[in-house]
Structure formats: structure tokens, C-alpha cells
């Protein structure tokens, strides 16, 4: 497996383009083939989530593309929101002369506001006319879906047999995907059926997007799509899963690193758990904890906040067996050794220095089993409050 350039347009059979004007954006991504999706478990689901779920159920064996808007979440908009999401799908379907149910719809922005449909309709032709398989198409689509993101998020790989998998995503705040606002669009030129594609996507999501936290809020709009064009032939399923996992994990880490106001990425790995579920609970608790995230921002070696988070995570734990260490990737410091704290001045000084690194690696060993999991998050800063204290004003 090797990384390749081009984002989603590195994949055979994919074309894209987008436009961004202020907070408003519109992106079109064209690809024909089986489609799968993973969506938010928030009970307040945005209209495009409901519409896309319905479309996948009816026509998932062959999709023709995706249409995505930024500037409005089209969430908590009830019947009118559903009509607007359907209108978005119809815009693209009419242009392609295809069934509207073969179009996926996605939105991001402020909740509870009516869609500015005239703006999207007025800019549709401009975007559609420029769709391209060149790298620029992926970049422009990526830019169009951004909200408070500071950087574009794109990653693509080529696996055995010349098969490619590429994705773009957006997300900076309201992030704790539970399938944050987190939208991801992945494409592959592997020839693979819809049922298998869905199975592979769910596995990848559980290792990646479901293991990131910025602020602990699960969005109304979270979605992860994949469309397989089939133009590069049948893949080795094991290699395909590894490639898809890699693309999704790299995109997920980019979301965590670009968390609103963040200055550093936190990677928390929990080893020795009794089950994979316990390992995931404990790892996510660490990077979700506002107290620990604040300590990381201030390089305060208050390691007890990490242990505390593991303790309330729901994971089985024996405090007398826990080991905790911090690392900057080169040097590390053990702060708890088999339940014994290491809080002397020299150890804490080393921990403080390491906590200034980006990324910061946190490793916990529960010594109760063989399961392991990794989660990604970011520090919690004054800037996060500034951004969200005036998000709509």
C-alpha cells in the first residue's frame, strides 16, 4: 500500500468540483457504482441524513453521485427540510438524467435555519459545468464543504492490483461521531458489491471516525459515504479493508488535529483491556475529558485526570494494575507503574516537557486482557470558547 496524490480524484471514475463564497458552499461529486453509508445516531437527524438513508435503502446498489452544501445544516427543519434535501438531489439527478434516489445528499452548517435554496440553485450550473477528474476537482470540493475548518482534509492510497481508495472530509467542532459536524466522502475504483461495501465501511468507521472526539458533541449531520466505481477490478478483500481503514483513520486524525481552537493532537492508546469494547471506551474517555484536554493545553502534568477518565469510562479496570505513560514519539515518561504513581519533581518536569509536543501520545495498559484500541482528540483551548461563543453572530 502506498499513499497517492489527488484526493477523491485519484480514483478512476470520479469527478468533482465545488464553490465557496463566504459561509456558503456547494460541492458535486460524481461516481457510478454501489454505495454504502454510515450516519449519525443522534435522534435529531438532519433532513439530508434521512433522505440519503432512504436513497441508499432503495438504490444503494447503484449510486450516481453526491451533492453537498455548507452554510446550512438543514437540521431541525422538519417537512420543509426534507423537501429541500429532495430538491438538492433532484437538481443533480435531472442534470444526469438519472433516478433521484441514486443521489446522496449531505449538509453542514447552522442547525434550525431554513435553506437558502435560491443560492444553491443559482450556483448549481456553475459547479456542475466544472466537474473534473483532475486533482483540482477534489481540492475545490473539499474547500466547498468546509465551515470552521482551518485546513482541507484529504487522503488516498493505492493497494495491490492498482486499486485506489480516496477520501475527503470536513470537521472541526461538534465532533464525536457516533455511527463532528463531520462529513466524509470516500471513493474507490474496486469492484465490490453493496453488501460487502457496507460491511467494510462499518469496520473502518469503528476504527477511525468513531474513535475521535473534539468536544463530545455528536452532530445531527454526521455521515460517511463510499461509492465503488469498479473500474480497477476486484480487490483482495483483506487488502481492501486495510486500505479503507487507513484512509478513514488518516482523515479522522486530520479532523481531530483541526479541532476548533486546537494546538495539538492527542493520541490515546489503551492496551491490555478485557475486550475491544472496553479498550475503546477507555481510550475515548481520555480524549473526551475536558479536564485532561485543558491540562494538555496548559502542559500541566496532571496525569490523574487521564486515570480518572479511564475509571469512569465503563471499562473494567483494576487500579492496582494500571500503567500510564506520556510520549512525544521520541522520549517517554512513565507516570503510573502497576498502580504506583510516579509524581516526583523530576518525573513531572519531564512529563510537562513532553506534554508540549504535537502530537502527544498517551498510553495506558490495563493488564486485564489482550484487546487494544486507539482514539484521537485535541487539547481544549480558550480559542474553542471564542469560536463557539459567537458561532451564529
Q: Which residues contact 86 (CB under 8 A, 6 or more apart)?
A: 51, 100
**Beta carbons of 268 and 305 less than 8 angstroms apart:** no
Give the span between the Cα atoms of 255 and 113, in whole angstroms: 25
CB 35 within 8 A of CB 185: no
Q: Is 372 a catalytic residue?
A: no
Question: Helix or strand or coil: residue 155?
Answer: strand
Q: CA 346 from chain center: how many Å? A: 38
The answer to whether 108 and 173 have CB atoms below 8 angstroms apart is: no
CA distances from 102 to 32, 365, 375 (A): 9, 47, 34
- Under a CB-based contact definition with an 8 Å cutoff, are residues 129 and 53 in contact? no
Instruction: Answer whether the bond into residue 359 is a cis peptide, omega within 30°.
Output: yes
25-63: string of b/e by CB count within 10 Å (b at 16+)? bbbbbbbbbbbbbbbbebeebbbbbebbbebbeebbeeb
40, 108, 181, 381: the active-site residue? 181
User: DSSP letters of 26-82?
Assistant: EEEEEEEE-EEEEE---SS--HHHHHHHHHHHHHTT-EEEEEEEESB---S-HHHHH
Estimate the crossing angle of helix 290-297 against helix 276-288, to 10 degrees.
60
Q: What are the residue numbers of the active site?
A: 181
Amino acid at each position: 500500500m502506498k499513499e497517492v496524490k489527488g484526493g477523491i480524484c485519484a480514483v478512476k471514475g470520479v469527478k468533482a468540483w465545488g464553490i465557496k463564497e463566504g459561509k456558503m458552499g456547494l460541492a458535486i461529486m460524481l461516481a457510478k457504482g454501489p454505495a454504502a453509508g454510515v450516519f449519525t445516531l443522534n435522534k435529531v437527524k438532519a433532513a439530508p441524513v434521512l433522505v440519503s438513508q432512504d436513497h441508499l435503502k432503495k438504490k444503494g446498489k447503484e449510486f450516481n453521485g453526491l451533492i453537498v452544501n455548507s452554510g446550512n445544516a438543514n437540521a431541525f427543519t422538519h417537512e420543509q427540510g426534507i423537501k429541500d434535501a429532495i430538491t438538492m438531489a433532484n437538481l443533480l439527478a435531472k442534470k444526469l438524467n438519472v433516478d433521484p434516489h441514486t443521489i446522496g445528499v449531505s449538509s453542514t452548517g447552522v442547525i434550525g435555519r431554513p435553506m437558502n435554496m435560491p443560492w444553491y440553485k443559482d450556483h448549481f450550473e456553475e459547479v456542475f459545468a466544472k466537474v473534473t477528474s483532475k486533482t483540482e476537482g477534489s481540492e475545490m470540493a473539499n474547500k466547498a464543504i468546509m465551515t470552521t475548518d482551518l485546513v482541507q482534509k484529504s487522503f488516498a492510497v493505492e493497494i495491490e492490483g492498482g486499486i485506489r481508495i480516496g477520501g475527503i472530509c470536513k470537521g472541526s467542532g461538534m465532533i464525536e461521531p457516533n455511527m463532528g459536524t463531520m462529513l466524509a466522502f470516500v471513493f474507490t475504483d474496486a469492484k465490490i458489491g453493496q453488501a460487502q461495501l457496507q460491511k467494510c465501511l462499518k469496520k473502518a468507521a469503528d476504527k477511525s471516525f468513531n474513535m475521535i472526539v473534539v468536544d463530545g458533541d455528536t452532530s445531527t449531520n454526521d455521515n460517511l459515504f463510499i461509492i465503488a466505481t469498479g473500474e480497477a477490478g476486484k480487490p483482495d478483500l483483506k487488502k481492501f479493508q486495510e486500505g479503507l481503514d487507513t484512509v478513514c483513520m488518516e482523515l479522522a486524525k486530520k479532523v481531530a488535529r483541526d479541532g476548533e481552537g486546537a494546538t495539538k493532537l492527542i493520541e490515546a492508546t489503551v492496551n491490555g483491556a478485557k475486550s475491544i469494547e472496553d479498550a475503546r471506551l477507555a481510550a475515548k474517555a481520555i480524549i473526551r475529558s475536558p479536564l485532561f484536554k485543558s491540562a494538555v493545553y496548559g502542559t500541566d502534568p496532571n496525569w490523574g485526570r487521564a486515570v480518572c477518565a479511564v475509571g469512569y469510562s465503563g471499562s473494567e479496570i483494576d487500579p492496582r494494575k494500571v500503567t500510564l505513560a506520556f510520549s512525544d514519539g521520541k522520549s517517554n515518561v512513565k507516570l503510573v507503574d502497576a498502580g504506583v504513581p510516579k509524581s516526583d519533581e523530576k518525573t513531572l518536569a519531564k512529563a510537562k516537557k513532553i506534554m508540549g509536543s504535537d502530537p502527544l501520545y498517551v498510553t495506558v495498559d490495563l493488564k486485564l486482557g489482550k484487546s487494544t484500541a486507539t482514539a484521537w482528540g485535541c487539547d481544549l483551548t480558550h480559542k474553542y470558547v471564542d469560536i463557539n461563543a459567537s458561532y451564529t453572530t
